[in-house]
Homo-oligomer: A and B are copies of this chain.
Amino acid sequence: MLDQRSFPLASLKLLASARSAGKTMEFKGESFKVEELTEKSFDDVDIALFSAGGGISKKFGPIASEAGAVVVDNSSAFRMTDGIPLVIPEINAEDMGGITWQSRKGGIIANPNCSTIIALMAVTPLHREAGVKRMVVSTYQAASGAGQAAMDELVLQTKEALEGKEVTKNIFPIQYAFNLFSHNSPMQENGYNEEELKMVKETKKIWSFDDVSITATCIRVPIIRAHAESINLEFERPLSETRARELLSTAPGVSLIDNRAENTFPTPLEASFKDDVFVGRIRKDISSDGEKGLDLFVCGDQIRKGAALNAVQIAELLLKQ
């Protein structure tokens, strides 16, 4: 993402655990040696992109910030922490507040959960117009949300299943090839898993709006790298299909694919490797009264807009401030 978007960096430092230190990686034709992450790593860093899990973020995020770097954190460590902005640049850039990299005063900005980002890219323009009262989401989530190893396991298992062999299960306890299962994040006492509750809580924070009721069912489907979501919306105020389509056709980072005549709608395959979130199946909900309900279907690349792209967009916002 830094490469493809030609992020104007003066220097690049790659940090990882001791295990990876010493490896080399290419960036724009130049070789960079991976260094071991230590408490001294951030002394000369302006912007630090973290994506090494919640534990590392919790420990090293504050250290980097105190050293003067602005941290853009992809883990869930700080998302719900008061005072830490949770940002989708197209939606709530204003929440970045006074954080600047030039001041060398540090700061932490959290990158939201992938399913939340992908849903809100499509739902927020509608929320601003008509006020979302209630949202019922069912997700169709790709392997990539669980990392490269999960993507590899899906491919390996699919080969094995096609050959009639027993499938290798290292990442998930359930066969993934030609199957789907309830999201593997920890189950809470109320019967929702963490992924589902992230969608509920993060939406309220990103919208700065508590007065919305949300339920989600998060399911992993045997797809490589883009998520899909079926979203049912109830609004405070009437919103026609036509107006919803108008709003979404001009929303930044959103592409409409909603051709009923040709039966073409967003698919995860089409959304893969794309920056935009795709939306379609926009229709008046026949189970709602009047024009206060809509159904829609969204797809977005989990690795791009669901993670890396959104993080780099936050870093780009920092440059503008």
Contact = CB atoms under 8 A, between A and B. Distances in A.
Interface of A: 134-136, 138, 140, 155, 158-159, 162, 173-175, 178-182, 184, 187, 190-193, 200, 213-215, 217, 219, 221-224, 228, 230, 232, 241, 260-261, 263, 265, 267-269, 280-288, 293, 295, 297
Contact of A267 (B134, B181, B191, B281): B181
Given A162-B158, A221-B140, A281-B191, A286 B215 contact: yes
A280 B223 CA distance: 23
Nearest to A258: B191
Interface of A is mostly: mixed
A82 to B, nearest CB: 22
Nearest to A289: B213
Nearest to A184: B263
Nearest to A241: B191
Contact of A283 (B134, B192, B260, B285): B192
B223 A179 contact: yes
A272 to B, nearest CB: 9
A194 to B, nearest CB: 11
B295 A179 contact: no
A286 B190 contact: yes
A143 to B, nearest CB: 9
